[in-house]
Chain A
Amino acid sequence: MRTLLQETIERLLADTVTPDLLRAAETGVWPADLWAEIEALGLPFAAVPEDLGGTGASWSDIFVVVRACGAAAAPVPLPEAILANSLLASAGLAPPESGVIVFAAGSADAPIADVPWARHAQWLALRDTTTGRIALYSLTDARIAPDSNVAGEPRDTVTLAPGSLIADADTSAATDAVLLGGAMLRSAQMAGALGRLTEVNADYANERVQFGRPIGKFQAVQQQLAVLATQAAAAVAAAEAAFLMADPAPDLLTTASAKAVSGEAAGKGAAIAHAVFGAIGFTHEHSLHFLTRRLWAWRAEYGSDAFWAERLGRTIAAAGDDGLWPLVTGAFAETTNP
C-alpha cells in the first residue's frame, strides 16, 4: 500500500506542480485539474475505513502522501482533506463524495480563524468546541474573509451560514484532535520540504561555479549541506514516528516530538538553503522560496516547536526522573507493526 501510494502521489505532483502553477496559485488561481486528479485517485479518502467508502490506509502509509505534498509544495489541501474525512469517519459520519473538504476547530456560531484553503473548499469538518461534537458543514453560503500565511497559502476566517449543518455526531476524539492532527500533518510536510530542499541545494552546489569550481567543492559549503541533510533526516524520522503511532488517533508524545524537531529543523534548514543559494535564491523569480516560505509558515501552524516542546516538557516533568526513560521507550511500543 505504502509503495503504491508513494509512487502515485509523487508521479502526479512531479507532473503537475510546476513553478508556473505555484505562482498562479499564489495569485488565487485554484488548480482544478490537479484536484480532479487527486479526487479521481481517491486520495482524500485514504484514511477513511472501507465500510465508509475510503481506502482504509494506515497513517503510517499515509505519511508518504503528506510528505510528498510538502516536498512538492503542492498548492492543494490534500493533507487537510485526508484529516477532515478521517475526523468525520471517526465520528461515524460519511464523508461527502466529492468537493474540497478542510477541517477546523471552533464554535459554529462565531467566526473561525485560520481555516486552511476555505475559499476553495465546499465542506468543513468542524470539531465544535462548544458542543464537543464533530460536524460536517457546507461552505457554499459561508462568509469567507480571506487571509493567508507567510507562504501565501489561504488561511481564511470563516463564518458559517445558518442552516449549513449537514450532519454531526458525538466523538471519542480528544478535545485537541484538530491541534494534534494539524501538527502531525505539518511535521510531515516540513519533512518533505526539507528533503526536497536538500536535493535542490546539492544540485545547485554542483552547478554553480565560483572561484573556478562548483561551490560544492568547498568544504565550508559541504559542511553546511551536511547539516541541512541531517536536519532533514531528523524531521523525516520524527514525523515518520508520529504517523506510525497515529492509529487510531494522533499520539501526543510522538506528535509533539515531531512538530518540535521538524520546526527547529525547518528554521535551520531554510537558513542554510538560502545561504547556499545566495542572492539568486532570494529573488521571487527563483522557486526556492516556494519551499522555504512554506517551512516558515508550517513551523508556526498548529503549535510552534516551542509550544510543543513546552507541552511535552510538562508531561515529562510530571512523570519525574524515574518516569523519563519508560516514557521515552514507551513512545513507540514494541508491539506496533505497520
Chain B
Amino acid sequence: MNLLDQFGPPVLPTGLGPLRTAVREFVAEWTPTSTPEKRALSWMGFDADFSRLLGTKGWLGLSIPKQYGGHDASPFERFVVSEELLAAGAPVTAHWIADRQSAPLILRHGTEAQKQRYLPAICAGELHFCIGMSEPASGSDLASVRTKADRQADGSWVLNGRKVWTTNADRCHFMIALVRTDPASERHAGLSQIIVDLTLPGVMIRPIKDLSGHEHFNEVTFDDVRLEADALIGVEGDGWAQATSELAFERSGPERFLSAMTLFRCLVGAVGPTPDARQAMEIGRLAAWLISLRSMSISVTAQLASGEDPVWAASCVKDLGTGYEQDTVEVAMRLIDSLPPGEQAATTRRVLAIVQSMAPSFSLRGGTREILRGILARGLGVR
C-alpha cells in the first residue's frame, strides 16, 4: 500500500452550489424553531416530521435509483446534503441509518420485492431502520454473535437472541440484524443479514439510559420471533462480507467529524470577533483540522463515487475525525473560563455539558478506535 496515494485532491464536482444553498436556506429557516441544546445532539437528534420533510424535498435516498423513489444522484450530492444538515445540528437520526446504510444495502443485495417494499418509503423519510450488530457478549468481537435464525421447513425463520446498544430501536420500524443462520458455524462463517419487523410478537425493546440521561440506545430481545422467508437479505452465509462492505460508507462521512460542530460554533460566537492569542490559536487549530478532515472525507467520497472500496482511507477518517470531535470538548474546557460573560458564554457552557457527556461514544460507535487502528495497521503490512 502506498500511503501517500490514499487521498487524492479534494475536488467536489461543479454544479453542487444550488443544492448546497437550498439545504442551507432550508435549515436556516428551521433553526429558530430549535435550540442550541437540541442542535448539540447532532445526528442523535430525533424528529420524524423533519425527516419526512426532507423526503418531500427530495434530499433522502439521493443515491437510490428513481424507480425505487430515489434520485439517481452522486455520492457528492449526498455528501453536500449530509454536511449541511450536520453542520447546522439538524435532527436527522430518524432517517439516518436507513438513508446511509439500509437503503444502499437493500439496493445492493435485496430482491426486487424487497427493493419495492422498502426503498420508496425510506426515500420518503417514512420508514426508519436500525442496525442490530452488537450483543451483550459481542462488542468489538462482532464475529462472536450468537443471535440465531433457524430456517423452518416452509422456508420461514424463527429468531432467538439479544441485540444491545441498538440506537433508536424503540423508534424504528425495522432492524437489519446480523445473525447466525448456520447453527454449526463459528466466527465469520454462517452469518446472515436479516430484516426484522420490530412490531412482530416476540420482539421486546428496552431503552437503555446513557450517562447523559438520554435513551438513544436499546436492548432488543427476540423470543421465538417468526419471520417470513423473505426476511433474509442477500445471500445466506454471506452476512459478514455484506455487513463489513457497508463500513466504508459508515466510516468516512461528515458525521465522523461534525458531531461537535454546534459546540465549535458556540465557542466561535462566545469568544467574539477579537479573540486573544490563546483563544485564536485554539479556535484556529480546530478549524485547521476541520478543513483538513473535510478534505479527506471529500477525497474518500470521490473514491466511493468511482466505485472503489477505500476501507483504509475511511478508517483513517473515522479515527482522526472522532478524535477531533473529542478534542473540541478539550478545547472548550481550556477556553471556558476565558469567554466574555453573557448569554453566549452561558449557552456554550450548557452545550459543552451535553457534548462532553456524549463524547466518549464518538470513538466507540461504528467500530472502536482500537479496532480501527488494527485495520490501519493491517493495511500497513504489520499484523
Residues 47-72 of A contacting B (Cβ, < 8 Å): 60, 67, 71
With A240-B8, A240-B9, A320-B269: A229-B316 Cβ-Cβ less than 8 Å: yes
Contact between B14 and A335 (Cβ–Cβ < 8 Å)? yes
Prevailing SS type, chain A contact patch? helix
Which A residues touch B88, using CB under 8 A?
A: 325
> Could you tell me which residues of chain A, from 221 to 274, have a CB within 8 Å of some CB in chain B?
221-223, 225-227, 229-230, 232-234, 236-238, 240-241, 244, 253-254, 256-258, 260-261, 264
B287 touches A257 (CB 8 A): yes
B313 at the interface (CB under 8 A from A): yes
Which partner residue on chain B sits nearest A264 by CB separation?
B285
- Least CB distance from B128 to A in Å reads 27
Question: Min CB distance, A172 to chain B, in Å?
Answer: 26
Q: Counting CB contacts under 8 A, is B305 at the interface? A: no
Residues of A within 8 A of B283 (CB): 313, 316-317
Contacts of A227 in B (CB 8 A): 373
Among A71, A191, A230, max chain B CB count under 10 A is at: A230
Tell me the nearest residue of chain B to A233, going by C-beta.
B316
* Closest A residue, CB atoms, query B318: A230
* Chain B positions within 8 Å of A185 at CB level: none
B-side contacts of A223, CB under 8 Å: 370, 373-374, 377
Residues in B neighbouring A71, C-beta threshold 8 A: 4
Contact with B along A176-206 (1 / 0, CB 8 A): 0000000000000001100100110010011
Task: Map CB proximity to B onto A280-318 as digits: 1 under 8 Å, 0 otherwise.
Answer: 000000000000000000000000011011111111111
Q: Which of B16, B290, B316 contacts A230 (CB 8 A)?
A: B316
Q: What's the A-B contact tally at a CB cutoff of 8 Å?
A: 209
Question: Which of A95-103, A136-144, A160-168, A326-334 is the contact stretch?
Answer: A326-334
Q: Which of B13, B265, B284, B383 interacts with A313 by CB under 8 Å? A: B284
Tell me the bound Cα distance from A309 to B280 in angstroms.
7
Are A222 and B374 also in contact (CB < 8 A) when A202-B380, A313-B282 are? Answer: yes
Chain B, interface SS category? helix
Q: A202-B381, A241-B291, A317-B273 are in contact. Are A192 and B285 (CB under 8 A)?
A: no
Please tell me if B6 contacts chain A, counting CB pairs below 8 Å: yes
Task: Contacts A229-B380, A325-B88 known; list 10 others, CB within 8 Å.
Answer: A195-B3, A195-B4, A202-B381, A217-B382, A233-B320, A234-B289, A237-B295, A238-B295, A256-B288, A309-B288
A-B contact pairs, 18 of them (CB 8 A): A198-B3, A221-B382, A225-B380, A226-B376, A226-B377, A236-B3, A236-B4, A238-B295, A240-B9, A256-B288, A257-B292, A309-B281, A316-B283, A316-B284, A316-B287, A317-B274, A317-B283, A337-B11
